């Protein structure tokens, strides 16, 4: 699972540009002789549910936040548009990769000596930033990139002290867990690796409609704000304390029975788990639970510090806790 995570985090997959991530997952599934389909939006769908049992589907999204090139200045700098919830404040001075060729660049901003007194006291906006790829002119820059190319944070994956540091952990972590469950268990589940979650859970809407699950488990990464100065009630969840189980977020109220069962199963099996303690964020569950006549839905997430930034941080133990909890919860649901 850790190898799959490392390989997936090395790939660029801004919403709408998930091609390389999709093909990597498809190749792994093909090697294991697991049939997979691609729908019109680009979701990968696996159908293994059996007749006569509850139809359970697991979801994880392939896309990540990032930027798209929207304009090239006469001097050769790239102006960008954000894709998903990414703030200019986390981008300043960071190294990026542009397009499928991973052209190296860096986010620049107006130097301090050119800032007005008003500007010095404000956070930058995306419109005030630019990507510098070392080009000397628009014509020079166009040799390497074009409008609509994706811009992602530099690919750098590090394992240290039981932690994982990387961009795109949201949600390559969920993808790695889902891959592991498909490859290393015989659970009769359907699965969807979805697209465009970061721009409005678009892929999950068509995937849920196609799979028609009775029950859905969303495998995610969620904000861990267990940082210096954060009040206990604002920490959301804590790294190293296991899988984060949601009762509600900004777009979904999760089914109480599933929420309670997940906590019970975690205690019974000795799996580290915690309750996500803030009503914040959202994920593919937002559209899954409203699909067709309704779907019983639960989100199980890996706590991740610095979500939607150049480098997230998560604990390996939390990743394994999410996998273990998802597996035993599916078993419990199938036997009930």
User: Catalytic amino acids?
Assistant: 197
**Burial label, 102 (beta-carbon count in 10 A; 0-12, 13-18, 19+):** middle
- Joined tokens for residue 79: 């102006």
In the chain, what is the greatest distance between 2 CA atoms, to the nearest angstrom? 70
Peptide bond into 171 cis (omega under 30): yes
Q: How many Å from the N-terminal Cα to the C-terminal Cα in the chain?
A: 28
Report the alpha-carbon distance of residue 101 to residue 95 in Å, rounded: 15
CA distance 30 to 91: 37
163-166, strands of its sheet edge to edge: 158-160, 163-166, 312-315
216's tokens = 């859905």
DSSP string covering 182-245: HHH-----EEEEES--TTTSHHHHHHHHHH--SEEEEEEEEE----TT--GGG--S-TTS-EEE
CA distances from 302 to 23, 143, 243 (A): 24, 40, 6
Least Cα distance to 177 among 11, 58, 14 occurs for 58
Q: How far apart are CA 283 and CA 219, in angstroms?
A: 9
Q: Which residues have C-beta within 8 Å of that of residue 117, sequence separation ≥ 6?
A: none
């Amino acid at each position: 699972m850790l190898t799959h995570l490392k390989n997936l985090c090395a790939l660029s997959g801004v919403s709408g540009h998930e091609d390389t991530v999709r093909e990597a997952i498809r190749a792994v599934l093909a090697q294991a002789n697991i049939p997979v389909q691609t729908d019109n939006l680009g979701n990968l769908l696996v159908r293994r549910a059996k007749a006569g049992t509850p139809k359970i589907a697991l979801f994880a999204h392939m896309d990540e936040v990032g930027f798209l090139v929207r304009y090239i200045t006469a001097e050769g700098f790239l102006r960008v548009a954000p894709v998903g919830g990414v703030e200019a404040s986390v981008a300043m001075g960071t190294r990026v990769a542009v397009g499928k060729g991973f052209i190296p660049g860096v986010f620049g901003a107006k130097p301090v000596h050119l800032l007005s007194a008003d500007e010095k006291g404000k956070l930058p906006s995306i419109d005030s930033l630019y990507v510098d790829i070392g080009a000397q002119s628009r014509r020079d820059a166009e040799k390497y990139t074009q409008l609509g190319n994706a811009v992602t944070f530099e690919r750098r994956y590090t394992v240290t002290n039981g932690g994982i540091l990387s961009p795109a952990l949201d949600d390559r972590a969920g993808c790695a867990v889902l891959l592991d469950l498909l490859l290393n268990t015989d659970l009769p589940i359907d699965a969807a690796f979805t697209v465009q979650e970061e721009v409005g859970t678009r892929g999950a809407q068509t995937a849920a409609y196609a799979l028609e699950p009775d029950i859905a488990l969303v495998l995610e990464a969620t904000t861990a704000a267990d940082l210096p100065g954060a009040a206990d009630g604002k920490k959301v969840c804590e790294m190293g304390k296991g899988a984060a189980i949601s009762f509600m977020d900004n777009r979904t109220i999760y089914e109480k029975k599933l929420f309670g069962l997940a906590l019970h199963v975690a205690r019974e099996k000795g799996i580290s788990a915690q309750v996500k303690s803030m009503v914040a964020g959202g994920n593919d569950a937002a559209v899954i639970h409203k699909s067709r006549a309704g779907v019983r839905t639960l989100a199980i997430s890996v706590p991740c510090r610095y979500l939607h930034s150049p480098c997230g941080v998560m604990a390996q133990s939390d990743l394994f806790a999410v996998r273990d909890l998802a597996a035993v919860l599916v078993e419990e649901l199938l036997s009930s």
